[in-house]
Amino acid sequence: LMNQNFDCVHKDQHAVLKEKQITNLRAEFEQHLLNEQKKGTDEATLAILKAEQELTIKELSDKKKEDLKKTHPVDAVFFYSDPYTKNKVFFNSDLKSYQQTSINPTSIRSTLASLAQSIHCARDSEEWNIRYNCQFSGEVRGLLFLLNHDGKYTSDIRDHFKKKSTSEEQRVIIDNLKIQPNQMIHIMDPATICYLDTIRKDTAYLTSINKFPHPRTDWFFFYPDLKISRPTPDTADSPATIEMILGPFLIIKYKEFERNDESRREKEGFLIYYKLSGTSKEEFLFFLDTLSSYQIFKHNININIRMINPDPHPQFEENFNNAIEHYIENWQLNSESARIFKSINFSLVENFSTRFLTKPILYREL
């Protein structure tokens, strides 16, 4: 069920007086006009924009108190079972398609504040649970899917949350979003969307050259054993958790598979996508040490590391090779262990996706 609003169940906390809504809207509109002036927008366009804003404010002013919005939006709900806890995790999602200039602190602040209210009510709403979670169990999180359809947004989304020397009002202050205790909101920003789209294209390419299996049942997202918990058994149903998607690397394990031409079988292995830029040897040493703690190098199987970064360090390859040599020497690995490390296939993905879609879209098209 998509695009299904549900009634607010915490009206005492979420309802905003009409006067407050008008004040907030005026401040938002004034900032928008100021930004347009700074960009050099002509007076005629500014006049039209201002007239549209005044009309919106008048419509809100004319509304009766009982007609004010007291529902929360739901574009879509996704869920999976966490590989470690086995609990269901639900994502009450807001799917946005913005051009570059629309991705700013004002729009992000407004969207996240709305999401915070939505998941607060979703957790306690019988209406929401009947639609999406008939067992009334699991965790409800917020997910902002922030698509940049013109492909021009190159900033780091985290910069909007950092303190600036200019006005405090120009950034997103997390404490002001009023996210409830034990609830979370995740942002899938334009860079992450392009990263995931690149993975999608690259796995298709690797499949075509017999470096990755085609049947979905022959590969799965890999989760190592932790000290206090163990993941579900390796299976094609294993999800890519939001933590894995937003993390610095993503690990896929695949089974032995038959080549497309049926000439022979390829042995099992790991396909690892690495998101960082490879700035130093130390960066890769930490990465290798993490993989080692996952027992990945205990397997005598293929290890293919594919780096996905739009702006890799000029010496990323040298830094990786130096990290391998340092790791072997520092841990005094025997010849067999050293051979496993030196046989790692490390490469940069060249066909980096810069635009997931090329036009403004509706949630239905996502």
Amino acid 321: pLDDT? 97
Would the pLDDT of 120 be above 90? yes
Q: Which residue has the higher pLDDT, 357 or 29?
A: 29
Percent residues over pLDDT 70 in the chain = 89
With CA atoms as reference, report the closest residue to 13 among 117, 128, 125. Answer: 117
59-109 confidence digits (pLDDT tens):
777 766 555 557 898 999 999 999 988 899 999 999 998 889 889 888 899
Q: Compute the mean pLDDT over every residue in the chain, rounded to the nearest whole number.
A: 88
Contact 68, 21 (CB under 8 A): yes
Alpha-helical runs (H) found in 39-104 = 43-62
126-158 confidence digits (pLDDT tens):
999 999 998 888 999 999 999 998 888 989 999
Grade residue 280 by pLDDT with cuts at 50, 70 and 90: very high
327-343 confidence digits (pLDDT tens):
999 999 999 999 999 99
Average pLDDT over residues 216-240: 79
Grade residue 121 by pLDDT with cuts at 50, 70 and 90: very high
Contact 267, 256 (CB under 8 A): yes
Q: What share of the chain is helix, strand, coil (3-state, %, to 5)?
A: 45, 15, 40
Report the predicted TM-score, pTM, of the whole model to 2 decimal places. 0.82
5-48 confidence digits (pLDDT tens):
999 998 878 766 556 667 777 887 888 888 888 888 889 888 98
For residue 283, give the H/E element and its range.
helix 281-293
The sign one gets for the Cα dihedral 311, 315, 318, 320 is negative
- How many CB atoms are located within 10 Å of the residue 114 CB? 16
Average pLDDT over residues 220-249: 83
Amino acid 261: pLDDT? 82
